[in-house]
Structure 1
Amino acid sequence: MTLNKIYVDNLIKTALLEDINYCDVTTDYLIPEEQDGNARFVAKADGIVCGTEVAVRVFTLLDDTVTYEILKKDGEEVQKGDVILTLKGKTRTLLKGERTALNLIQHMSGIATASHRYAQIVEGTNASIADTRKTLPGLRPLQKYAVMTGGAKNHRYNLSDAAMLKDNHIDAAGGITAAITALRKKIGHMTKIEVETRNLDELKEALSAGADIIMLDNMSPVV
Structure 2
Amino acid sequence: MTSQTLDLSQVIPPQTLVHLAREWLAEDTPNFDFAGVCVGSQEVRATLLCKSPGSVLAGCPFFSAVFMELGCIVEWIYTEGQTLGMESVTQTAVVRGPARCVLLGERPALNCLARSSGIATRCRQLLDTAKTACWEGQLSGTRKTTPGFRLVEKYSMLVGGVSMHRHDLSGMVMLKDNHVWASGSIAQAVRDARSVCGFSSKIEVECGNYEEAREAAIAGADIVMLDNFTPQALHMAALSLKQQFPSVLIEASGGVTPLSLSQFFSPHVDIISLGCITQGCPTVDFSLKVQGKLPSN
TM exceeds 0.5?
yes
**Partner Cα separation in structure 2 for residue 184 and residue 21 of structure 1:** 46
For residues 16-70 of structure 1, give each alpha carbon's deviation from its aligned partner in whole angstroms, at most 9, with x where no partner exists: 111112221012x21233x12111111111210001221122111012xx23311
**Equivalent of residue 84 in structure 1, options 87, 92, 112:** 92
**Equivalent of residue 108 in structure 2, options 90, 100, 105:** 100
**Partner Cα separation in structure 2 for residue 87 and residue 11 of structure 1:** 19
Identity %: 34
Distance change >3 Å, CA 219–CA 23, structure 1 → 2: same
**Partner Cα separation in structure 1 for residue 61 and residue 202 of structure 2:** 34
Distance change >3 Å, CA 121–CA 31, structure 1 → 2: same
Q: Indicate conservation of the 8 Å contact 1:112/1:147, yes or no.
A: yes
**Equivalent of residue 206 in structure 1, options 209, 213, 216:** 216
- State whether structure 2 residue 81 is matched by structure 1 residue 75: yes
State the partner residue of 2:205: 195
1:160-199 equivalence runs, <5 A: 160-199=170-209
Q: How far is 1:15 from its partner? A: 1.0
**Partner Cα separation in structure 2 for residue 89 and residue 206 of structure 1:** 58
**Partner Cα separation in structure 1 for residue 103 and residue 58 of structure 2:** 21
State the partner residue of 1:112: 120
Counterpart code for 1:17: A
Q: Indicate conservation of the 8 Å contact 2:67/2:73, yes or no.
A: no
Count of residue pairs brought into register by the alignment: 219
TM-score, scaled relative to structure 2: 0.71
Counterpart code for 1:3: I
State the partner residue of 1:12: 21
Counterpart code for 2:108: T
State the partner residue of 2:56: 48
Counterpart code for 2:74: Y
Task: Tell me the SS of whatever aligns to 2:196.
Answer: coil
CA RMSD of aligned residues (A): 1.3
State the partner residue of 1:157: 167
Give the gaps of 5 or more residues in structure 1. Answer: none
Q: Does 1 or 2 have the higher relative contact order (CA < 8 Å, sep 6+)? A: 2
**Partner Cα separation in structure 2 for residue 127 and residue 23 of structure 1:** 51
Q: How far is 1:183 from its partner? A: 2.1
TM-score, scaled relative to structure 1: 0.94
Counterpart code for 1:52: C
Counterpart code for 2:184: G
Q: How far is 1:189 from its partner? A: 1.2
For residues 154-193 of structure 1, give each alpha carbon's deviation from its aligned partner in whole angstroms, at most 9, with x where no partner exists: 1011111111110000011111111112222332211111
Counterpart code for 1:149: V
Task: Tell me the SS of whatever aligns to 1:86.
Answer: strand
**Partner Cα separation in structure 1 for residue 195 and residue 105 of structure 2:** 51
Q: Indicate conservation of the 8 Å contact 1:52/1:85, yes or no.
A: no
**Partner Cα separation in structure 1 for residue 137 and residue 162 of structure 2:** 11
Q: How far is 1:95 from its partner? A: 0.9
Q: How far is 1:126 from its partner? A: 1.7
**Partner Cα separation in structure 2 for residue 216 and residue 45 of structure 1:** 36
Give the gaps of 5 or more residues in structure 2. Answer: 1-7, 234-297
**Partner Cα separation in structure 1 for residue 140 and residue 186 of structure 2:** 24
Q: How far is 1:76 from its partner? A: 0.2
Distance change >3 Å, CA 181–CA 32, structure 1 → 2: closer
**Equivalent of residue 145 in structure 1, options 149, 155, 167:** 155
